[in-house]
């Protein structure tokens, strides 16, 4: 099947190929790459899925695994990546697989696939999620908008009401409110607004954490496998860059201690919550280095180069999430400008 036909299959299928492009990027540059995953689970029928960017299907993960197996790359643990970077061992390209947040579907769907392939991977755990205290506010926002055709809230001191009966209205409203919340000067305000909104519309904000995140026994099950590295992802999943020096440091340091107390192993690797430049910058990179983490990852997109040996707590990653905005990469592919990726694309087709 040609690439064009594949892409016009539309919907979820085209997202697979979006991911395929990203999967192939590490083969084309640098000494290696770290891939980011959030949810791995079967597709859901709901039309309104604004957080779909955070999930791929088990089927797609299986295809990525097959692709990696056929490629001339080593899938390695974070410790091994650290060794290669610090010792300058770049004989073969490497790929690290990383899962953020500690979702239950990492254990249920991703783990069996990676275990069968004997591929190491890392899970960065936000400890409040495992402690059942996490507020997955972005899912609460999604639920409020999904279940109502009109939503009211106070924005900048004014009562505002939004129609959200149609799918297009829901999508537009989610985008607007999500980014308005993310732009709040601090996460206290963000959480207050989200909590109030959820309460007003009878959405149980705590349920998302209980339903979707692993508890400690589940994390321990993963941690018992030598293939798995458990990393830290802060306590409360806040925008670290908006916190005071002391609070940002405590979020990182405390999460490491909580994981050590729960699992008996002290995490050596960190993932910054959100991980974009507005959430983690030079101050956070310095804190992670000062606290002695071997590596720390952002969500800034990119592959790993030799020079990253000098900035081990500010590593870029490549997201394999089903993010619609990445469809632009597919368009780049279709322009024919990325021949190497095109070739890799065909390999993925063959592997499917």
Site residues (vs Zn ion, CB under 5 A): 100-101
Residue the block writes with tokens 């799918």: 167
Residue 56 or residue 173: which is nearer to Zn ion going by CB? 56
**Alpha carbon distance 286, 297 (integer Å):** 13
Residue 101 or residue 251: which is nearer to Zn ion going by CB? 101
Q: Which H or E run contains 195?
A: helix 187-200
Cβ atoms 234, 256 nearer than 8 A: no
We find the least distance from the C-beta atom of residue 12 to Zn ion, in angstroms, to be 23
Residue 247 or residue 332: which is nearer to Zn ion going by CB? 247
Residue 62 or residue 98: which is nearer to Zn ion going by CB? 98
We find the least distance from the C-beta atom of residue 273 to Zn ion, in angstroms, to be 5
We find the least distance from the C-beta atom of residue 105 to Zn ion, in angstroms, to be 14
First to last CA, the chain: 11
Cβ atoms 159, 151 nearer than 8 A: no
Nearest Cα to Cα of residue 307 among 95, 88, 92, 91: 88
Cβ-proximal residue to Zn ion, closest one: 100
Nearest Cα to Cα of residue 64 among 93, 32, 40, 30: 40
We find the least distance from the C-beta atom of residue 57 to Zn ion, in angstroms, to be 20
We find the least distance from the C-beta atom of residue 100 to Zn ion, in angstroms, to be 4
Residue 94 or residue 216: which is nearer to Zn ion going by CB? 216
114 contacts: CB under 8 Å, gap ≥ 6: 61, 65, 97, 120, 121, 227
Residue 169 or residue 276: which is nearer to Zn ion going by CB? 276
Residue 37 or residue 48: which is nearer to Zn ion going by CB? 37
We find the least distance from the C-beta atom of residue 129 to Zn ion, in angstroms, to be 9
We find the least distance from the C-beta atom of residue 98 to Zn ion, in angstroms, to be 11
Cβ atoms 171, 48 nearer than 8 A: yes
Residue 56 or residue 85: which is nearer to Zn ion going by CB? 56
We find the least distance from the C-beta atom of residue 36 to Zn ion, in angstroms, to be 9
The two tokens of residue 63 are 């295809």
We find the least distance from the C-beta atom of residue 237 to Zn ion, in angstroms, to be 6
With both helix axes pointing from N to C terminus, report the angle between 187-200 and 167-182 in degrees, rounded to the nearest 10: 150
Nearest 10 degrees: Cα torsion 59, 324, 282, 307: 60
Q: How far is CA 153 from CA 159, 167, 177, in A?
A: 6, 20, 10
**Alpha carbon distance 181, 189 (integer Å):** 8
Nearest Cα to Cα of residue 180 among 190, 188, 166: 190
We find the least distance from the C-beta atom of residue 322 to Zn ion, in angstroms, to be 16
Residue 100 or residue 253: which is nearer to Zn ion going by CB? 100
Cβ atoms 31, 94 nearer than 8 A: yes
- Residue 85, number of CB atoms within 10 A of its CB: 25
**Alpha carbon distance 28, 73 (integer Å):** 11
Residue 6 or residue 297: which is nearer to Zn ion going by CB? 297
């Amino acid at each position: 099947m040609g690439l064009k036909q594949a892409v016009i299959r539309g919907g979820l299928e085209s997202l697979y190929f979006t991911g395929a492009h990203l999967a192939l990027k590490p083969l084309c540059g640098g000494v290696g790459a770290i891939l980011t995953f959030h949810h791995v689970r079967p597709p859901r029928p709901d039309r309104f899925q604004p957080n779909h960017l955070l999930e791929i299907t088990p089927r797609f993960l299986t295809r990525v695994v097959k692709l990696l197996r056929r490629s001339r790359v080593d899938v390695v643990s974070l410790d091994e990546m650290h060794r290669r970077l610090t010792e300058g061992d770049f004989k073969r390209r490497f790929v690290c697989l990383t899962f953020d947040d500690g979702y239950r579907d990492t254990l249920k769907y991703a783990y069996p696939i990676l275990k069968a392939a004997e591929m190491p991977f890392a899970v960065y755990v936000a400890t409040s999620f495992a402690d059942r205290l996490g507020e997955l506010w972005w899912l609460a926002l999604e639920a409020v908008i999904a279940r109502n055709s009109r939503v009211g809230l106070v924005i900048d001191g004014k009562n505002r009401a939004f129609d959200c009966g149609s799918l297009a209205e829901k999508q537009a409203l989610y985008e607007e409110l999500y980014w308005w919340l993310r732009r709040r000067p601090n996460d206290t305000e963000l959480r207050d607004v989200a909590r109030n909104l959820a309460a007003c519309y009878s959405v149980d904000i705590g349920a998302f954490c209980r339903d979707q995140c692993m508890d400690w026994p589940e994390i321990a099950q993963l941690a018992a496998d030598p293939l798995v590295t458990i990393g830290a992802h802060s306590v409360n999943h806040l925008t670290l860059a908006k916190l005071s020096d002391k609070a940002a440091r405590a979020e990182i340091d405390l999460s490491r201690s909580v994981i050590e107390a729960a699992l008996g192993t002290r995490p050596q690797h960190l993932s910054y919550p959100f991980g974009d430049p507005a959430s983690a910058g030079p101050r956070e990179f310095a804190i992670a280095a000062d606290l002695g983490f071997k590596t720390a990852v952002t969500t800034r997109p990119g592959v790993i180069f030799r020079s990253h040996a000098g900035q081990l707590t500010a590593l870029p990653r490549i997201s394999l999430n089903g993010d619609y905005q990445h469809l632009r990469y597919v368009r780049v592919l279709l322009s024919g400008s990325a021949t190497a990726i095109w070739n890799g694309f065909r390999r993925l087709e063959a592997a499917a």
